[in-house]
Structure 1
Amino acid sequence: MLHDPPKTGKSERPSETTRLQTGALLIIAFAVVLFLLVQARFVLISLATAIILFSLTSDVINFIARQRIGPFRIPNALASVVAMVLIAAALLSLSSVLLSQVNTVLVLTLSYAERAPAAVAAMFAWLGEDSQQAVFNAMRSVEMSSYLRGAASQASGLTQGTVLIILFVGFLFAERIWFETKLLSLVGDAAQAERVAKIIRSIIHRVNYYLLVKTVISAITGAMVFVLAQAFGLGLATSLGIITFVLNFIPNIGSIVATALITLVAQVELGDGSTTLAVFVIVGIIQFVNGSIIDPMLMGRALRLSSFGIILSLAFWGAVWGIPGMFLSVPIMVMLLVVCSHVPKLRPFAVLLSREGLPESEKMLDQPIERDLFGQDIKRD
């Protein structure tokens, strides 16, 4: 009995040591994962993009498979082949368009390099002659050629990434019919496998809806910017429209960068402060209405993401994967939100990531998704 207190003290020490070891292991594991994410960024970015495209085309495959040619229904295998061909054609066409626009922008940027410092400095003339001269000297010190070489090198890797994405999507299509069987064998329980399948379907549905709405809003914004640039006689009207469309997929920051870029081009090409101000105001109104009013109205509560969480995700994946990580930040955050919502120990993270602190519940998970992105019943006849 006299030795009971020392035993109690000794039993507490291993518990503290275990917690310290667990914390250290978590830090080491995070560092290793972060290292692998950075080192294998090209392959992982291509794989993540392929998975998103594959999930996005699941509704397309089902839509094609429901069509009939006379009394015959299109086989699911043929529908998958057709969807794969459409994806490959779309990706190759998109990459060729982007490469051509990048080349156009690079060539015109070289021609603007001489007059850009003076044009940008003129925008700060209202601050005084000293400030204008300081801006002019700062712009002249920028080595435009190094930035252009960096942009050209990244653009050259776009074709390789496109081919790799097409290969990944093709293999995913080939494995599609065995997914449910593999999931059941992996989980080992039919009820749990069905629950995991519901979580995956919820992720796919939310990501698909986000991409659909974002594509429509970005296309409308890009078209309006193109019309505006044409109205003001800007030589880069087509390029500005396409760049605006692409940048609007980057949450929050993309629209700001696009607006600043259009304003800069207007100032360099036109050289008139009042006209540049008019372009800036009109583009700002377009971005605000489409991005802050129409976009949230269409999204509704489909994403339920915290704005601060989106900024954190954007900063993290931008630091890890660069510009492609910024494009993938929201789909990755949607996946994390849905997964954390249905894992009890991770649900506090889901509360932090959700907009109102109300992440997806089990009741919401049990509600069947009756219609696809085409508005048709997803259940087979």
Structure 2
Amino acid sequence: MTRPPLPARRSDPDRLRGPRDPHRIQDVALIIIAFAVVLFLLVQARFLLISLVTAIVIFSLMSDAINFIARARIGPLAIPNWLASIAAVVAIAAALLLLTSVVLAQVNTVLITTLSYVDRAPEAIAALFSWAGESTEAAVLNSVSTIELGGYIRAFASQAGNLMQGTVLVILFVGFLFAERVWFSTKLVNFVGDPVQADRVGRIIGSIIRRVNRYLAVKTLVSLMTGVMVWALAGLFGLELAVALGILTFLLNYIPNIGSIVATALVALVAYVQLGDPRTTAAIFAITGVIQFINGNVLDPMMMGRALRLSSFGIIISLAFWGAVWGIPGMFLSVPITVAAMIVCSEIPALRPIAILLSREGLPEPETERREGEQRREAAE
């Protein structure tokens, strides 16, 4: 009588791994598909989404000011909330249209001047490599000469026209946001269904607004100081594009880490193409670099304090991701988006590891814990 064959023994690695959970594999696959769909929508609807995010940032900047105006009194009369909102929308629209007009005018000036320098630019760039020998300088000249700079400049000019369309769309979004702000608290309670939970969500949103406002206020002040210094430096050396360089430096400094480097290189390149003197160009480059270093690495952190507490590596990753998805506007919006993501992730236990990676010290402070700590300190005092 023969014995039935014994079942084959599983190897030790198979016993350690255990049976695979098909539901886990399915969840991972669904997450990957959802991420791909969201990424596709972000790219396809980027013009609309960039305008919407910009409008939300502007709305958050003005919301505290509107609340202050609405609480103000002129004698026995109080300023109605709707009147303050209308005044804010009109002021924002005027400021955005004026800023857009100034930027477009300076962009046109830069493009016209750049086109006049296109023929001189290859020789100027090749001369930078003269120290490596005549053969290297000739190779660089041949390589640069094959680049159709004029075509790229004209393509950029055609894209700059979209700035006015985006400005009008941002103004419309801001107007709708201000129209809905009066009912936001009621909608939030009805949407969440729990007044306590709605209050927590409101505190999280308020924390995002406060930190983003602090970042933008400090960044605007530091960028303005840097732009004025670069404009004065360029004017002192007689550069034709002094005003344009100051405005571009002001705008580029909103892009973290990379913007100041690009602005410094742009000032040096314009100086070398126009003046053609390596020593003067080196002096302009060095002074601009010192201005950027002091303002960006001394004044900026000192004024910013611990308002953001973002990891430098996290900022670089966010800058690369949003730059790849939304281009240059994504680079400008990368830090506000990262701040919002870190605060939201710190409040959700399942997403807290992401907040730890984004935070500077690896210890993101949830808004609820921060408020409880402030209340305990106030009670102790």
Match of 1:33 in 2: 38
CA distance in 2, matches of 1:343, 1:253: 31
Q: 1:367 to 1:84 in 2, by over 3 A?
A: farther
- Alignment correspondent of 2:63: 58
Q: CA RMSD in A?
A: 1.4
* Alpha-carbon distance in 2 for matches of 1:48, 1:73: 32
Q: Distance in 2 between matches of 1:367 and 1:74?
A: 35
Residue 208 of structure 2 corresponds to residue 224 of structure 1: no
Matched pairs, number: 358
Cα pair 1:202 1:365 within 8 Å, conserved: no
Aligned residue identity for 1:127 = A
Partner of 1:176: 181
> 1:367 offset after TM fit, Å?
6.1
1:192 to 197, 202, 212: 197
Report deviation, 1:146. 2.1
1:293 maps to which of 298, 305, 316: 298
**Matched-pair contact (CA < 8 Å) for 1:199–1:365:** no
**Partner of 2:307: helix, strand, or coil?**
coil
Alpha-carbon contact 1:318-1:324 (below 8 Å) kept: yes
TM-score, normalization: structure 2?
Answer: 0.92
- Equivalences for residues 30-179 of structure 1 within 5 A: 30-179=35-184
Matched, 1:333 2:354: no
The residue type equivalent to 1:306 in the other structure is S
- Cα deviation, 1:142-165, whole Å, max 9, x if unaligned, reads 111221122112210001100000
Cα distance in 1 for partners of 2:276, 2:241 equals 15
Cα displacement string for residues 199-252 of structure 1 (whole angstroms, at most 9, x for unaligned residues)? 000000000000000000000000000000000000000000000000000000
Cα 1:328–1:35 change in 2 (3 A) is: same
Structure 1 residue runs of 5 or longer lacking an equivalent are 1-8, 370-381
Distance in 1 between residues matched to 2:268 and 2:202, nearest whole Å: 47
| Alpha-carbon distance between aligned partners in 2 of 1:305 and 1:111, rounded to the nearest angstrom | 43
Query: Does the C-alpha gap of structure 1 residues 316 and 66 become closer, same or farther in structure 2, counting only changes over 3 Å?
Result: same
Output the CA distance in 2 between the equivalents of 1:252 and 1:21: 40
Question: Any idea what SS the aligned residue of 1:81 has?
Answer: helix
CA displacement at 1:70 relative to structure 2: 2.4
Please tell me the residue identity of whatever aligns with 1:57.
Answer: M
Are 2:366 and 1:364 aligned?
A: no
Do 2:118 and 2:150's aligned partners in 1 also have CA atoms closer than 8 Å?
A: no
Shift of 1:293: 1.1
**Separation in 1 of the partners of 2:65 and 2:345?**
28
CA distance in 1, matches of 2:131, 2:75: 72
Alignment of 1:342-381 (within 5 A): 342-361=347-366, 362-366=368-372
**CA displacement 1:251-278 (0-9 Å, x = unmatched):** 0000000000000000000000000000
Q: Aligned equivalents of 1:123 and 1:87: distance in 2?
A: 45
Matches within 5 A, 1:298-337: 298-337=303-342
State the alpha-carbon separation in 2 of the partners of residues 276 and 285 from structure 1.
14
* Distance across 1 between alignment mates of 2:155 and 2:370: 46
**Distance in structure 2 (CA, Å) of the matches to 1:294 and 1:185:** 44
> Cα offset for 1:39?
0.2
Read off the aligned partner of 2:127 and give its amino acid letter.
Answer: A
Cα distance in 2 for partners of 1:289, 1:138 equals 36
**Amino acid in structure 2 at the alignment position of 1:316:** F
1:368 deviates by: 7.0
Instruction: Flag the 1:184–1:367 CA change in 2: closer, same or farther, 3 A.
Output: farther
**Alpha-carbon deviation of 1:366?**
4.0
Correspondence for 1:372: none
Q: Secondary structure at the match of 1:57?
A: helix
Identity among equivalent positions (%) equals 66
- Of structures 1 and 2, the larger Rg is shown by 2
